[in-house]
Amino acid sequence: MSKLLDTIDMEKLHEGILDVLSDGIYVSDASGKTLKVNKMYEQLTGLKREEIIGKFVTDLRNQGSFDVVLNPEIVSTGQKKSSVQVTKEGRRVILNGYPVFDESGKVALVVTFVRDVTLLCQLKDQIANQQEVIDKFREVQHRDKKMQKSTVVYESQEMVKLINLLDKVAKTDATVLLLGETGAGKDVLCRLIHEHSQRKNEPFFKVDCSTIPESLIESELFGYESGAFSGANTKGKPGLFEMADKGTLFLDEIGELPLLMQSKLLRALQDQELIRVGSTKVRKFDVRFIAATNKDLEEEVKHGRFRSDLYYRLRVAVLQIPPLRERRGDILPLIRFFSEKYNAKYRKEVTYTNEVCKTFENYKWPGNVREMDNFIQSLIVTCEQETLDVSDLPHYMLRDAFNMDQSATMIDNNKTLDELMSDYEKNLIKKALDAHGSVAKVAKLLKVDRTTIFRKAKKYSLL
């Protein structure tokens, strides 16, 4: 009896030792039969001793008690092994299995230490989410550092005055409203403001209000908490206000912002506070705002499409960028700048005749600097010769140039209307023939019959 009692006491002693361990313990024999588990294992997995003792690990796996077992491989190889296991309750635990050998050197038991990694995995996911934000921030910083400082090319008096005003405004922390036509250079001037400000070493973010779907604008700007809406990141996400903290946020095309978001933006501008979507916690931020639009905001306010209080809050420092056609002194300097840029990029040495340069000056550039940038790049990419003549220019550009040139001629000459009209027609046809070399092309350009051009060219002795 005493020996049996000693055995029972030793068994309880073993169980007591296992139960005080902070790790879950799972002991199985070489056949895979479950021999012992401790209390911590029950707590970690939700599996009770009576459910698993005496059962084989492979059967338990097949029943769905858990999805991974280590015993067969450890018995086969005699090597320790680790893995992550998901229990039937969806809890993730990490398994570290070790072989226990008998006197003959064969695996007799497998002892597996079980640790809860559900919380660890959650923290890892949160860290990964934050790392994504950090990586995005660093990518923006890296991109901005790689980029040369914003280059503003100008010689006109209009732009000299504007840049002088910009320098004064940039040194303050005032909200700036940039007004101007599409392609006039609002983006470049915004970056110039940031580079000349006290926040120049802090982040710069741009958001185009016209490209973000209305349903996503709030979450993009203010961020959201976990489970804020269907399809949201389960860890939540900071918005651009938070990501631009201490730096500058450029709200491009602010005239496209929906009225509801205008109200929320106004509060953010005034209080420098935000509440993420799905949260009640107020977060402070410190951001310098620059807004831009090609719309007439006063007209938008009159028609109820833009909040008057937001408009007055934005127009602290207003910079009006004149279109390119109103600052013709900048046209040739910009042409030289873009030509040098794309000649270097595509390893070419394209130049222009004086007639081409004159055409550039007379053209209206309705798309402003952006149109010129894309046009010069296209011209250099597609040209086959080093010196471009007017014959290499598109028809619409020549038409504008002819109109400008002939208007100037009319003003300078004291002739009758009939004489002026004849001169205009003669010069127009002559330049078109010189540029395109054929009656058919000129007829197509001027949208008339081929016979009409032929007859008029004969009349003016151009053929």
Supply φ then ψ for residue 239, to 5 degrees: -90, 180
Cross-strand bridge partners of residue 87: 66
* Consecutive H or E run containing 7: helix 2-19
Contact yes or no for 342/335 (Cβ under 8 A): no
Contact yes or no for 53/11 (Cβ under 8 A): no
Pick one of 3.30.450.20, 3.40.50.920, 3.40.50.360, 3.20.20.140 as the CATH number of 2-116: 3.30.450.20
Pairing of strands 288-293, 248-252: parallel
Q: What is the pLDDT of residue 9?
A: 66
Low-confidence ranges of the chain (pLDDT < 70): 1-9, 118-150, 227-234, 400-415, 417-418, 420-421
Q: Where are the domains of the chain?
A: 2-116, 148-322, 328-459
Structure tokens at 40: 């911590």
Query: For 172-196, how does the pLDDT look when each residue is reduced to its tens digit (9 = 90+)?
Result: 999 999 999 999 999 999 999 999 9
Contact yes or no for 385/367 (Cβ under 8 A): no
Cross-strand bridge partners of residue 206: 250
Whole-angstrom Cα distance, residue 324 to residue 400? 14
Cross-strand bridge partners of residue 26: 37, 112
Supply φ then ψ for residue 238, to 5 degrees: -75, 150
Task: List helix spans (H) across 303-394.
Answer: 308-314, 331-345, 354-362, 368-382
Structure tokens at 302: 């009159």
Give residue 88's Cα distance to chain centre.
41
Supply φ then ψ for residue 68, to 5 degrees: -135, 140
Q: Exposed, middle or buried by CB within 10 Å (0-12, 13-18, 19+), for 201?
A: exposed
Contact yes or no for 35/29 (Cβ under 8 A): yes
Spatial CA neighbour of 331 closest among 375, 386, 385, 378: 375
Structure tokens at 3: 């020996």
**Which residue's structure tokens are 């005032």?**
174
Fold entry, domain 328-459: Helicase, Ruva Protein; domain 3 (1.10.8)
User: Reduced to 3 states, what is the DSSP secondary structure of residue 332?
Assistant: helix
Fold entry, domain 148-322: Rossmann fold (3.40.50)
Q: What is the pLDDT of residue 390?
A: 81
* Burial readout 401-426 (b: 16 or more C-beta within 10 A, e: otherwise): bbebbbeeeeeeeeeeeeebeebbeb
What one-character-per-residue DSSP string does 407-461 give?
Answer: HHHHHH----HHHHHHHHHHHHHHHHHHHH-SHHHHHHHHTS-HHHHHHHHHHTT
Q: Exposed, middle or buried by CB within 10 Å (0-12, 13-18, 19+), for 275?
A: middle
Chain mean pLDDT for the chain: 84
Spatial CA neighbour of 104 closest among 74, 67, 78, 137: 78
Cross-strand bridge partners of residue 176: 290, 317
Residue type at 52 in one-letter notation: I
Contact yes or no for 307/136 (Cβ under 8 A): no
Residue type at 392 in one-letter notation: D
Name the DSSP letter for residue 202. S
> Given this chain, do its domains 2-116 and 148-322 carry the same CATH topology?
no
CA neighbours closer than 13 Å in the CB half-sphere of residue 290: 28
Cross-strand bridge partners of residue 115: 94
Whole-angstrom Cα distance, residue 296 to residue 92? 58
Q: What is the pLDDT of residue 43?
A: 86
- Within 8 A by CB and 6+ apart from 286, the residues are 245, 246, 272
Contact yes or no for 42/64 (Cβ under 8 A): no
CA neighbours closer than 13 Å in the CB half-sphere of residue 169: 25
